[in-house]
């Protein structure tokens, strides 16, 4: 009985004779997948599917017979092992078209002011240095935040940081550096000088009063001590020019103490020019607007002056009509900027002769805060060194960041107020202060607020100083 039972057990055990894998070879593209199956054959020629197969890939990923091709092209193998038997399939990975070989970030090595932004773009090239699409770009950076469109927003911490981009499909990546710096607002410094009136035409022995106006790099007027000289005739320290008795073209220069200078040309002619002063009804030959080509912040204002001249370049009194295509301007030449940045034109015209002149005004979203010169004898004053406004929108609140110094022995408290177009005033933040103290406010406020004000109070809550700025 024992012999018979042992014989039956031996007959029930199946021994494999071979192991086959299907398909035995395949051609694939990078990233594609294929399923391999394994069939075992016993000694009697019976075929069955074995269980517990160990899968091995020379390169790529295989799990449960499912093989995913890698991004690198080449020839690879997939091997199935079971009970000492092995079966191998050959895989050929084709080189995909438009394969990315390198990535370049542009612009490179940017300098960005704190809390400002810059757009980066990633450009991919193939093996023939042809530009190819980069459809799977992943951005990240330190020192700030960057979205998946390449927009980098700098933090408040100055320094040198790195921006990366990677093609998640091929694994290639590139980087560039970005330097975050803190912009220091300096008091106005003379940048250029303008002489008015320019290119005069006067008779021999006649005279003309010249005026020199200094401007900083933001076209804000700056006072300076002019030094006049000329190559013909005489000019006084006040710009009073006397023509020589010889006709011709002569240069008149003006310079400050640091070497910044400019010049104008005076044409001296022999023809007689009336010596009597021009009357109000004299014929107007031209009109000049000064200062020209101004740059101001949204909501700010600037005074423009129109000077009329007759054909002898003598100043003529007139009453002009002002108008503009952006912002508002009154009859006295005071221009009030709107809240839409851009370059606009301002005109003035003489109602009688129809002679007109024009100049450009550029409205900026953020400009350098106006310089507040020291004031003596006042109760207090506010010196603003940084004024940064982000207008926000209907879905995100507006934000203001301001740095300032309070001057005044009676200063006790400072508050930041928001003012609506209707005149409603709300307090955004307040803090105690003292003479010479540096303060920093960073607050969010409603999108509808159009103006912001800093107010300083004494210990009896009486306002002793105020600074007003645009809220949008």
Average per-residue pLDDT for the chain? 83
Both tokens assigned to 375? 């004031």
- Rounded CA gap, 44 and 14, in Å? 9
Signed CA dihedral, 425, 430, 435, 437: sign only: negative
pLDDT in tens, 118-161: 999 999 988 778 888 887 889 999 989 999 889 999 998 899 99
pLDDT, residue 77, reads: 94
Region 310-318 average pLDDT: 79
Residues 62 and 109 in one domain: no
Is the pLDDT reported for residue 348 higher than 90?
yes
Is the pLDDT reported for residue 104 higher than 60?
yes
Residues 462 and 401 in one domain: yes
Domain final position from 313, 338, 368: 368
pLDDT in tens, 384-404: 888 888 766 556 678 888 999
Region 34-43 average pLDDT: 86
Is the pLDDT reported for residue 289 higher than 80?
yes
Residues 349 and 303 in one domain: yes
Residue 34 is part of a domain; what is its CATH number? Answer: 2.60.40.10
Percent of the chain with pLDDT over 90: 24
In a domain, 260, yes or no: yes
Query: What pairing do the DSSP bridges indicate for beta strands 137-141 and 144-146?
Result: unpaired
Residues 214 and 170 in one domain: no
Is the pLDDT reported for residue 205 higher than 90?
no
Domain final position from 272, 302, 329: 272
Candidates 77, 76, 97, 100; CA nearest to 87 is 77
Residues 281 and 362 in one domain: yes
Residues 268 and 252 in one domain: yes
pLDDT, residue 358, reads: 92
Residues 295 and 306 in one domain: yes
- Rounded CA gap, 169 and 95, in Å? 14
In a domain, 455, yes or no: yes
Domain final position from 125, 160, 181: 181
* Global pTM exceeds 0.75: no
How many folded domains does the chain comprise?
Answer: 5
Residue 415's domain comprises 381-470
């Amino acid at each position: 009985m024992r012999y018979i039972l042992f014989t039956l057990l031996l007959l029930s055990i199946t021994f494999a004779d071979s192991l086959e894998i299907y398909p035995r070879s395949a051609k694939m593209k990078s990233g594609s997948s294929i399923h391999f199956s394994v069939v075992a054959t016993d000694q009697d020629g019976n075929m069955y599917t074995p269980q517990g197969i160990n899968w091995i890939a020379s390169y790529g990923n295989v799990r449960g017979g499912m093989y995913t091709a890698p991004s690198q092209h080449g020839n690879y193998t997939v091997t199935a092992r079971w009970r000492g038997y092995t079966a191998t399939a050959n895989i050929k990975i084709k080189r995909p078209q438009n394969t990315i070989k390198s990535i370049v970030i542009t612009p490179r090595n940017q300098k960005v002011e704190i809390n400002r932004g810059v757009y980066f773009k990633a450009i991919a090239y193939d093996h023939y240095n042809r530009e190819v699409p980069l459809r799977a770009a992943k951005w990240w950076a330190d020192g700030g935040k960057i979205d998946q469109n390449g927009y980098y927003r700098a933090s408040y911490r100055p320094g040198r940081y790195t921006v990366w981009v990677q093609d998640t499909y091929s694994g290639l990546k590139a980087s560039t550096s970005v330097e975050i710096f803190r912009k220091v607002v300096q008091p106005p410094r003379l940048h250029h000088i303008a002489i008015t009136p320019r290119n005069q035409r006067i008779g021999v022995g006649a005279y003309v009063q010249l005026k020199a106006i200094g401007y900083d790099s933001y076209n804000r007027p700056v006072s300076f001590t002019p030094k006049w000289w000329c190559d013909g005739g005489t000019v006084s320290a006040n710009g009073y020019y006397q023509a020589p008795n010889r006709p011709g073209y002569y240069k008149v220069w003006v310079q400050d103490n640091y070497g910044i200078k400019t010049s104008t040309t005076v044409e001296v002619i022999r023809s007689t020019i009336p010596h009597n002063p021009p009357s109000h009804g004299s014929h107007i030959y031209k009109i000049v607007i000064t200062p020209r080509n101004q740059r101001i912040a949204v909501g700010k204002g600037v005074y423009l002056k129109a000077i009329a001249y007759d054909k002898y370049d003598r100043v003529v009194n007139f009453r002009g009509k002002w108008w503009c295509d952006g912002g508002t301007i009154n009859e006295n030449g005071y221009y009030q900027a709107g809240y839409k940045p851009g370059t606009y034109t301002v005109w003035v015209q003489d109602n009688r002769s129809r002679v007109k002149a024009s100049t450009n005004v550029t409205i900026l979203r953020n400009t350098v805060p106006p310089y507040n010169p020291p004031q003596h004898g006042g109760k207090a004053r506010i010196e603003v060194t940084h004024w940064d406004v982000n207008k926000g929108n209907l879905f995100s609140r507006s934000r203001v960041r301001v740095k300032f110094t309070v001057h005044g022995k009676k200063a006790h408290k400072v508050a930041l107020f928001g003012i609506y177009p209707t005149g409603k005033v709300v307090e955004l933040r307040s803090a105690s202060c003292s003479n010479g103290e540096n303060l920093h406010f960073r607050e969010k406020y409603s999108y509808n607020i159009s103006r912001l004000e800093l107010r300083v109070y004494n210990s009896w809550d009486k306002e002793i100083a105020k600074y007003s700025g645009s809220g949008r």
